[in-house]
C-alpha cells in the first residue's frame, strides 16, 4: 500500500487511527493517536538522533479529561499506548514529562534520565 493510500484509511490494523505512516512497514516517524472516551495520547516511532535507544516509541502527550482524572483512566489509556508500541515493534518507550506528571510516569515504571531534551521537562524511559 502506498503512503498516500494509508493516509486515507481511518484505522490501522490494530484498530487505532493512523495520522501519518510512511509505509506498510511502520517506519521511523510513523505517528499515531490512541484514544478512548476519557482521553487520548499521541506517539511516534522516534528518529534515531533523538532516541536514547533504537526502536523507541515516543509518547508525545497523554491527556485525560480534567473532570475524569484520578479514576484510573490515565493508567488504562497508557496500557493501550504501551501495547500499541509493542505491536509496532518498539523495544523502548520514552516521554519528556511535564514536571507535575513525573509521579504518574514513575507509577507507570518509567525511570528518569540525566539528559534534558526540553527545558523544564523530565526525560524518562521504560524498557518494553
Ligand atoms: C497525567 C494524567 C494523564 C493522569 O491521568 P489520571 O486518569 O488522573 O491517572 P490515573 O487515575 O490512571 O492514575 C494512575 C496512577 O498514577 C498516579 N498519578 C496520576 N497522576 C499523577 C501525578 N500528576 N503525579 C503523581 N501521581 C499521579 C495516581 O495516583 C495513580 O496511582 P495508583 O494507581 O497507585 O493509585 C492526567 O492527570 C492528565 O491528563 N494531566 C494533564 C496532562 C498531562 O500532564 N499529561 C502528561 C504529559 S507528560
Atom in ligand 1 nearest the alpha carbon of residue 76:
12
pLDDT of residue 88: 80
* Residue with CA at minimum distance from ligand 1 atom 34: 107
Report d(CA 26, CA 36) in Å as an integer. 23
* pLDDT over threshold 90, residue 76: yes
**Res 127: pLDDT:** 96
Is 70 near ligand 1, meaning CB less than 6 Å away? yes
Nearest to 95 by CA among 58, 126, 46, 56: 58
Ligand 1 geometric centre to CA of 3 (Å): 35
DSSP-derived pairing of the beta strands 92-97 and 56-64: parallel
Q: Is residue 118 pLDDT above 90, yes or no?
A: no
> 3.40.605.10, 3.40.630.30, 3.40.50.2300, 3.40.1010.10: which CATH number matches 3-127?
3.40.630.30
Please determine, for residue 11, whether its predicted confidence score (pLDDT) is greater than 80: no
Report which of 28, 27, 6, 2 is spatially closest to residue 17, judged by C-alpha positions.
6
Q: Is the pLDDT of residue 119 over 90?
A: no
pTM of the model: 0.85
For cell 520514552, what's the residue?
Answer: 94
Distance (Å, rounded) from C-alpha 88 to C-alpha 23? 12
72 versus 54: the higher-pLDDT residue is 72
Distance from C-alpha of 128 to C-alpha of 123, rounded to nearest angstrom: 16
Closest Cα to residue 41, out of 77, 86, 4, 89?
A: 77
Mean pLDDT of the chain: 81
Higher pLDDT, 117 or 47: 117
Start-end of H helices in the chain: 3-8, 73-87, 102-107
Amino acid at each position: 500500500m502506498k503512503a498516500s493510500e494509508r493516509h486515507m484509511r481511518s484505522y490501522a490494523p490494530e484498530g487505532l487511527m493512523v495520522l501519518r505512516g510512511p509505509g506498510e512497514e511502520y517506519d521511523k516517524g510513523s505517528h499515531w493517536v490512541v484514544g478512548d472516551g476519557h482521553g487520548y495520547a499521541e506517539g511516534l516511532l522516534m528518529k534515531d538522533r533523538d532516541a536514547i535507544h533504537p526502536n523507541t516509541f515516543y509518547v508525545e502527550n497523554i491527556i485525560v479529561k480534567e473532570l475524569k482524572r484520578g479514576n484510573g483512566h490515565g493508567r488504562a489509556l497508557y496500557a493501550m499506548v504501551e501495547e500499541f508500541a509493542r505491536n509496532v515493534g518498539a523495544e523502548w518507550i520514552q516521554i519528556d514529562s511535564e514536571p507535575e506528571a513525573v509521579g504518574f510516569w514513575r507509577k507507570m515504571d518509567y525511570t528518569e534520565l540525566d539528559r534534558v531534551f526540553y527545558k523544564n521537562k523530565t526525560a524518562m524511559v521504560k524498557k518494553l
